[in-house]
A and B are shown apart, each in its own frame.
Chain A
Amino acid sequence: MSESKKYTYYPGCSSQASATHLDRSLRAIAPKLGIELEEIDDWNCCGASVGHVEGGALPQTALSGRNLAKARQKGKSDVLTACAACYLNTHGVNEKIKNDVRTRQRVNEALDAAELNYDGDLNVRHACEVLVNDVGIDKIKAKVTKPLTGLKVAGYVGCQTVRPFAATAGGGNYDTYDQPEFLDDFVKACGADAVDYDPKTSCCGGSVSVYSPDKTLHLIKKIVEAAVSAGADVIATPCPLCQQNVEMYQDAINKKFRTNFNIPVVFYSQLMAVAFGMDASKDAALDQNMIKPLKLVELAKKDGTEPTG
């Protein structure tokens, strides 16, 4: 095993609820890729995309402030999160604390109520960006023992994973806002086929889909429809809310638009766990997808090969 790098891990609320399968599979593949995850002690919610409405701007900012102050107590390792909303909020607040004196002062004044402080000297990074820049596609490829041969995957990135922070904390871009390629690269590294998929960064409606799906079902329909007509067996995504919306509303879409969709939606980390020859349930958490990714389960049962790296 080559050397590993330590990251301070912020799992976020969905890791204990709707996206436990992301958290489980990510924790499973991390050691194989030399990623050591140390969880932030007693982390709290980031405020997601609605907290500010009731809570106000500074309280919303202070939520991430507390997480960052607690992360800093773990040392100077980069903060890693796999959730799009957690990344957006935590990274956004971190940049503001780093670059804007007034925000830094005000957040610290609030944090002082719990004897915490944070001056903005951490980097906050998305798990996918770490996979691209620190681990590298070649290393992912080298860990594959069960290539997902024949599996057709529609790589659905969603919005917030690459927007507005395609520019990373470490400097440089990990991908573009409109045509990101990292997810297809992951899919291909796992030995699967990345189908030609146009609505890569189309919006699933985000939290609006959670409380007013009547307004957004047509957006999700577009995402599902394009995957099905491209011949995909499965949709893969990095975002917890995308995964949930695109999976759980297929019945409602079928009812409203008289369609017949039933396509599984998995996380990239679940694909990797299977491709790395790990356990389909314990590691890849395939038992936690509402729509069972049957082809992926079948592939997981096959015999593996030796890893090349």
Chain B
Amino acid sequence: MNATAAAAAPAGNRIYDLNFARWVYRNIDGGDRIPLCMQCGMCSGSCPIGTAMDHGPRKLFMMIRAGMKEAVLTSDTIWNCTQCYNCVVRCPRQIPVTGILQSLATVAVKEGYAPKQPTARFSKAFWFSVTRFGRTDERLVTAFYYFSYGLVEGIRRGLENLPIALRMLKSRRMHLGAPHRVKGTADLRAILAKAEEIEARDAGQEGRS
């Protein structure tokens, strides 16, 4: 079925795209090493949270090769990675597994495959703090993240974690008052805006051949 589908629709679609593999090899940092994967399973076997993943890195890499774009970009494997780098240091083919999962997460968010995902929500809150203040304010990031689930859920999560927050305050590891910030926020934002522009420009150049 796949062969016929490919012959009939070589351009691919949202669900299944034979060019997806090639695109990953070319555009994702370290993706050029995915064809070297020999499916040994060292990555999935070394993963501390592998049992909580739907596929695990080994299978995910095979799915990339098969062009299963939607299944890859909606897989919770890319979200459950704790970034311990166990797979990276053990991979006999030196595939930078963690970095590839990170890059796939970015693509999944950009292309709208993961709108409600916790990591995506958390990252949004985190990036807000970074671009607004230049530094991470753990209070704001957590609050933004909790309330991304709505007012009621935000309050529920807030209350659930209140004992921890109070202990953090008591041990002076959380402060009251304005967030810590860099002086050069204008500089920092200019750099980030430019970086975003470069990335968009270069992605356009390389295309999705």
**Chain A residues within CB distance 8 Å of chain B:** 13-14, 16-21, 42-45, 47-59, 61-63, 65-66, 106-107, 109-114, 116, 159-160, 163-164, 166, 177-178, 201-203, 205-212, 215-216, 219, 248, 251, 287-290
Which A residue's beta carbon lies closest to that of B83? A49
Q: Is the CB of A113 within 8 A of B127?
A: no
Closest Cβ of chain B to A113, distance in Å, is: 4
Complexed CA–CA distance, A21 and B172 (Å): 9
Chain B residues whose C-beta falls within 8 Å of the C-beta of A57 in the assembled complex: 29, 103, 106, 199
Q: Is the CB of A160 within 8 A of B85?
A: yes
Contact of A51 among B82, B88, B123 (CB under 8 A): B123
Given contacts A58-B196, A110-B191, contact A164 B106 (CB under 8 A): no
Q: Is the CB of A51 within 8 A of B130?
A: yes
Complexed CA–CA distance, A52 and B191 (Å): 15
Closest Cβ of chain B to A65, distance in Å, is: 7
Q: Is the CB of A59 within 8 A of B199?
A: yes
B135 interface residue, CB < 8 Å from A? yes
With a 10 A CB-CB cut-off, give which of A20, A59, A209 has the most chain B CB atoms. A59
Q: Which residues 180-199 in B have Cβ within 8 Å of A in the complex?
A: 180, 182-184, 187-188, 190-196, 198-199
> A53-B120, A206-B84 provided; 17 other pairs, C-beta below 8 A?
A17-B175, A18-B138, A49-B83, A51-B123, A53-B102, A57-B103, A57-B106, A58-B196, A59-B195, A107-B195, A109-B198, A114-B188, A159-B84, A160-B83, A160-B84, A205-B49, A210-B122
How many residues in B have their beta carbons less than 8 Å from beta carbons of A?
A: 66
Complexed CA–CA distance, A251 and B173 (Å): 18
Which A residue's beta carbon lies closest to that of B108? A53
Given contacts A17-B173, A206-B82, contact A42 B135 (CB under 8 A): no
B124 interface residue, CB < 8 Å from A? yes
Q: Is the CB of B85 within 8 A of A19?
A: no
Q: Is the CB of B134 within 8 A of A45?
A: yes
Contact of A114 among B88, B142, B174, B187 (CB under 8 A): B187
Given contacts A45-B134, A177-B89, contact A202 B48 (CB under 8 A): yes
Q: Is the CB of A50 within 8 A of B119?
A: yes
Complexed CA–CA distance, A45 and B175 (Å): 18
List 27 contacting pairs A-B, 8 Å CB cutoff, sorted by A.
A14-B136, A16-B180, A42-B183, A44-B134, A45-B136, A48-B126, A50-B126, A52-B102, A53-B106, A53-B120, A57-B29, A58-B198, A59-B199, A113-B191, A114-B188, A159-B82, A159-B83, A159-B86, A163-B84, A164-B88, A207-B122, A209-B82, A211-B118, A251-B163, A289-B171, A290-B167, A290-B171
Contact of A248 among B110, B131, B164, B190 (CB under 8 A): B164
Q: Is the CB of B105 within 8 A of A53?
A: yes
Which B residue's beta carbon lies closest to that of A65? B191
Q: Is the CB of A17 within 8 A of B138?
A: yes
Q: Is the CB of A203 within 8 A of B135?
A: no
B52 interface residue, CB < 8 Å from A? yes
Q: Is the CB of A219 within 8 A of B49?
A: yes
